[in-house]
Amino acid sequence: MPHSLQIGGFTPLTTIDFPGELAAVVFCQGCPWRCRYCHNSHLIPVCGVKSLAWEEILQFLERRRGLLDAVVFSGGEPTLQKGLQQSLQQVRALGFKTGLHTAGPWPERLAALLPYLDWVGMDLKATVRDYPRITGVPRSGERAWQSAQRLLDAGMACEFRVTVHPMLLNEQQLDDLKQQALLAGIENLQVQPCITNGCLNSH
């Protein structure tokens, strides 16, 4: 029996979520982590308040063939969802490229999805040691860095980015992260400031 996606939001057109492509973004419901700077905290529970049907989004995409380049699965954490692989296949069958935004909590799941993806944007939040302070979850750092390694080993087209919350990542910790990223072979770490207004825990 196919698994359907739990969807908490949908953006029909964006130019910033898949580099160089016109994309729609599907916001998947649910995340195993609790980052204090999370801006999509309504997407953290596995069951959301607002729910959209995947079939409706597929119908929308049918009508956008030739007008959109790609569909990005964001969240929440899309790799939480058992139906993601099938959804990626459906999107590709319609002629769109596929993108994923992930924090990398499940390296094996991510690796299994790579054949169905054209691009991945991955959050690297800190060094392995500093992760639990940000995500609230023990061993989250090991998992995220293993996921990053999977992307690198596969030669995947991807972008790594870090969100800097001033209370969660100081200058030294950011330098340590950049150093660990370089040692892992990541040369394009994008640093983005955190807008603390409206996040899960603003201090």
Interaction between residue 38 and ligand SF4 (CB under 6 A): yes
Which of these ranges, 14-22, 34-42, 57-65, 90-98, lies near ligand SF4 under the rule CB under 6 A?
34-42
Count of residues near ligand SF4 by CB under 6 A: 11
Distance, CA of 21 to CA of 13 (rounded, Å):
10
Tokens coding 44: 């953290």
Residue closer to ligand SF4 by CB (options 90, 140) is 140
Distance, CA of 167 to CA of 203 (rounded, Å):
7
Q: Which of 7, 23, 24, 31 binds ligand SF4 (CB under 6 A)?
A: 31
Residue closer to ligand SF4 by CB (options 33, 119) is 33
Interaction between residue 110 and ligand SF4 (CB under 6 A): no
Q: Which of 6, 40, 90, 127 binds ligand SF4 (CB under 6 A)?
A: 40
Residue 118: Cβ within 10 Å count:
19
DSSP code string of 115-168: GG-SEEEEE--S-TTTHHHHHS-TTHHHHHHHHHHHHHHHT--EEEEEEE-TTT
Contact of 160 with 186, CB cutoff 8 Å:
yes
Interaction between residue 52 and ligand SF4 (CB under 6 A): no
Which of these ranges, 32-40, 89-97, 144-152, 182-190, lies near ligand SF4 under the rule CB under 6 A?
32-40
Give Cβ neighbours of residue 126 (< 8 Å, ≥ 6 apart): 133, 134, 141, 162, 168, 169, 173, 177
The 184-203 site mask, x for binding ligand SF4 (CB under 6 A), equals --------------------
Query: Chain-centre distance of CA 156, in angstroms?
Result: 15
The 115-154 site mask, x for binding ligand SF4 (CB under 6 A), equals ----------------------------------------
8-82-25-181 Cα dihedral, nearest 10 degrees: 110
Residue with token string 């953006």: 11
The 56-95 site mask, x for binding ligand SF4 (CB under 6 A), equals -------------------xxx------------------
Chain contacts with ligand SF4 (rule: CB under 6 A) = 31, 33-35, 38, 40, 44, 75-77, 103
